[in-house]
């Protein structure tokens, strides 16, 4: 698992805990916004 995947998973878990009333779709949109368009930058040296 790459760094971007680990960060994404951590955010998903955190948002599920902190925003239980929000739908999975809303939380996914938040994670996408937090991660940005170029998630590969997290895996670059």
- Scan for tokens 């994670």, then name that residue: 31
Each residue's pLDDT expressed in tens, for the chain with a length of 45 residues: 899 999 999 999 999 999 999 999 999 999 999 999 999 999 886
Give me the residue spans of the domains in the chain: 3-43
Contact 45, 10 (CB under 8 A): no
Contact 16, 27 (CB under 8 A): yes
C-alpha distance from residue 18 to each of 1, 2, 10, 32, 34 (Å): 24, 24, 12, 17, 15
pTM: predicted TM-score of the whole model, two decimal places = 0.86
The alpha-helical segments, DSSP class H, found in 1-45 are 3-18, 24-35
């Amino acid at each position: 698992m790459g760094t971007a995947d680990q960060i994404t998973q951590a955010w998903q878990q955190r948002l599920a805990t902190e925003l239980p009333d929000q739908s999975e779709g809303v939380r996914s949109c938040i994670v996408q916004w937090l991660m940005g368009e170029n998630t590969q930058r997290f895996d670059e040296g």
